[in-house]
Amino acid sequence: MKVAIAQLNYLIGDFDGNVSKITEYINKAKEAKADIVVFGELAICGYPPRDFLEFSDFIAQSDQALSKITEASQGIAVVLGAPTVNPVVEGKDLYNSVYFISDGEVKHVQHKALLPTYDVFDENRYFEPATEFSTLEYKGYKIALTVCEDIWNIGNENPLYVTCPLDILIEEKPDFVINVSASPFSYNHAEERLEVLKANVDRYKVPFFYSNNVGAQTELIFDGGSVVMSANGAIHREMPYFTECMEVFDLDEVIRGDTHQEQPKDDIAEIHDAIICGIKDYFGKLGFKKAILGLSGGIDSAVTAVMAQRALGSDNVRVLLMPSQFSSDHSVNDAEALAINLNIQYDIIKIKDVFDAFMDKLGGHFEGLDFNVTEENIQARVRGTLLMAFSNKFGNILLNTSNKSEMAVGYGTLYGDLAGGLSVLGDVYKTQVYALANYINKDSEVIPKNSITKPPSAELRPNQKDSDSLPDYDILDEILFEYIENRKGPQEIIDMGHDPALVKRILRLVNINEFKRYQTAPVLRVSSKAFGMGRRMPIVGKYLS
């Protein structure tokens, strides 16, 4: 038997487009003499459809799309995910299901039992969990079908769940397991995925065919990396990351377990590729083409510009250089050099006159008051206004360049440097931004060296440096990581050796700046805990205040 895995990039709600793509790969699988072709979780409608699932018309279109796939299944078996209407009155209206279709008929449907409702997942909002499990037979083989999370409760040891679907399915002695997934990317998730699959294989002693979606759906990025694992625990094949593709596997070879093809793992390289995927799909799926951003000569805007150019092409990226009276000559020169290196359009607009006009209007009201954050923010908002003017006039979508460290502690100006349609680096700590810059420059100097080595500064007042307001980024990022990703409280972080006053100050800054993050652009998610849909904090609260 030959099993094909097609890891594809779906568009939520684009039923015609998804059906066309799935049908194309069904035909490719037929040409490759595959007996079964496996697609991803909710492939019919795209994942995650969220509240679209509450529209009866959306479900009707999904059912119509599934009928078209059924018609295309002559001579091959097709395994893919789709929502299913719950026929009973009790419970949620839908199931999250995997379908086994062949020769123009639906042969088997298995519903998802374990519905993740944590971090970015909210499946219990929409779906009823499965309570019945059974295998199917096809061409002399017994097959167990599962959906994504259903393989993440090995031996019923996951405290989130009380059911282990494979413990039930294995009693029917399947010859192999197929899992259809939509498992979002984070830079450490590929290793976790392999560990989970290995634990399943060790427990059940059968081969696994794991198909994962690829591509970005706004902030969520899916990396593909579909896996075929032999019953002896060997990785028969881990498919490429961030690439639409199909591969065909001979079941006898998988059973023998004599090959090992795993993708290399590198956090920064994966973050780099994920961000490019995120930008490309955000623009492509929304029908946008051109981006704009402010290029300051600093490292954050430099990395963002490179990512945008690599995702969209030089002709589709434009930058504004907006020096103030506090900007150094080398910042302008560094920004100009990067724009030339990337072959992107750039314009220089000095903002001193605009800033002076604001101060002239405000002067009578501010007379006798010291220059402070007010004047700094006016400069940032002047820049934001200029960028949005270009965005409106020329149709370029503004990319936000703030990093996760800055967003965490509120080191940014609402309606100024926090403006934008998409946050490119909002889930990348400052220390990771430096690593990304060095990765970009690994073969040649793309980002000018001075942008990487100079002390970071917003350049909104004389001789300003980030370190005037914040601790060194390696210290700051460690504290933020423990609080945000690891959810450690202040005393736990202090016990790690950090200064108590600093810890309390930093954590308080994180909490009191939640209102800013509520008003910023969607953040491309590359970590296990990003700002946005996966981190739900109250704006008003007293914890650590």
Active-site residues, by number, are: 41, 112, 148
- Cα-flanking dihedrals φ and ψ of residue 91, to 5°? 85, -175
Instruction: Give residue 359's region: left, alpha or beta (phi > 0; psi -120 to 50).
Output: alpha
**Burial class of 335 by CB neighbour count within 10 A (0 to 12, 13 to 18, 19+):** buried
Nearest to 83 by CA among 136, 36, 152, 13: 13
Between CA 328 and CA 330 the distance in angstroms is: 5
Spatial contact of 448 and 337, defined as CB atoms under 8 Å apart: yes
Q: How far, in Å, are 26, 127, 289, 403, 405 from residue 457 at the CA level?
A: 53, 48, 31, 13, 14
Whether the CA torsion 417, 419, 421, 423 is positive or negative: it is: positive
Rounded (5°) CA angle 298-270-219? 75
Helices (H), 1-145: 15-31, 56-71
Please give the distance of CA 451 from its chain centroid, rounded to a whole number: 27
Distance CA 415, CA 485 (A): 27
State in Å, rounded, how far the first CA of the chain is from the last one: 62
Asked if 401 contacts 383 with a C-beta cutoff of 8 angstroms, the reply is no
Say if residues 248 and 4 touch (Cβ distance below 8 Å).
yes
State whether the Cα torsion 365-370-372-377 is positive or negative.
positive
The Cα–Cα gap between 471 and 480 comes to: 12
User: What angle is formed at CA 326 by the lines to CA 321 and CA 329, rounded to 5 degrees?
Assistant: 60
Which amino acid makes up residue 385?
T
Q: Sign (positive/negative) of CA torsion 304, 310, 311, 315?
A: positive
Q: Which helix (H) or strand (E) holds 363?
A: helix 352-366
The SS3 call for residue 416 is coil
Alpha-carbon distance 450 to 34, whole Å? Answer: 54
